[in-house]
Structure 1
């Protein structure tokens, strides 16, 4: 078992080096929300697991898992793990954007990312306008402090608007922020992730890599059964095409996210699949 764990760790380290070697702008990381249940049980052991996978770039920083913020930063530093994108929220960006600045600067993060816009049963044009206003206002402030704001769409933004979508309206009107594509939610919302990257080169600064079980119906609700998250390459998202296009565009961070109950067994398999794309 120990030999297997060492093999997984070495493979993951080689994979991380592979992504960096192919172009200095690429790095493989992890959204720590993937391990939320494991953190709840044993945060130190969970951080050890991330280190064993050879992953040193993560997203997070709002949930502290019983640590103080200083203790959490120290635990990360001990394992050579960096928060490169600090989590924030729409409400924080709207009401107290300096809090997002302080959090990102404390961790030394170059990015801060929010993942949801509060809305009613259906995301509307008024919601999209509100999103643009907050992103431009907060994004400009964050930019002044050396931090890039990213919005991570969840699929409810892809409703039709003027022969395009509400997401098109948002991305076309945001001037002071960027976007993070979660390829699962993009697919789930009825879009083609690769084509959307090609439509907006330079607008996306990072990806969430996760795959969707084949046969899963699309939805504009921004929600799905978490166990429709499958090993990368086994679903219907088209991960190989997405990765190839993202590399071509020089997108820097590829964050693994796996929300399934099988996350601990699936992530090493996803790492192996990404390694297989070396010749892609």
Structure 2
């Protein structure tokens, strides 16, 4: 396979879905103009607001997000990940779902976030994702995308659970997508180092779209959408502004790194 450009989009989503969809399309268009073949939107790209409002909007947002991804993928001829949007999962609960759509608008893969962010942070913020989100029941998929590579899916808090990434690389992943809305408090210390660790230990590319800035109330995201190579090198960083991190993904480089550092072949899982 030949190399291609991948783009991790960085958004500042709000409680206004119309504004978020407009912002998302602007960034998708920018990525496409820069030559990206694979584009990732961050977690909560369509809505960042109060949980009660999210539950109210979920039925409409679920349908609208899926249609939006199909339309954008076709319009800009990119393989597109919608990094996490609410899908009804019974009374007062949603799934946090990611969908990967091909250039023809067909659904390639779908994943409902497994690990839920229930944390009391020292800065006074409390997050209880499980209060409104139902954990996914299936391991994330890996899909071979023609002309690109084998892509695995994950979402945000998953990055703290290395066994999930072992599953993905064991299923053949060459590039793993990690769309996120990482908090500013944890992000400053953990975001980049966790992503680099997942890239290094699995000798895989990581594409990590991100939310940035203040959204509503006290909710603030870290930013720094990243593209990281299998050696752990940061190839592109979107900083803290809305924008795009674009970098080449080279399958031959991945094979060279796996040849030079064959740790995946040295594993002895039967001993653990």
TM-score range (shorter-chain normalised) is 0.3 to 0.5
More helix per residue: 1 or 2? 1
More strand per residue: 1 or 2? 2
Q: Higher relative CO (CA 8 A, sep ≥ 6), structure 1 or 2?
A: 2
TM-score under structure 2 normalisation? Answer: 0.43
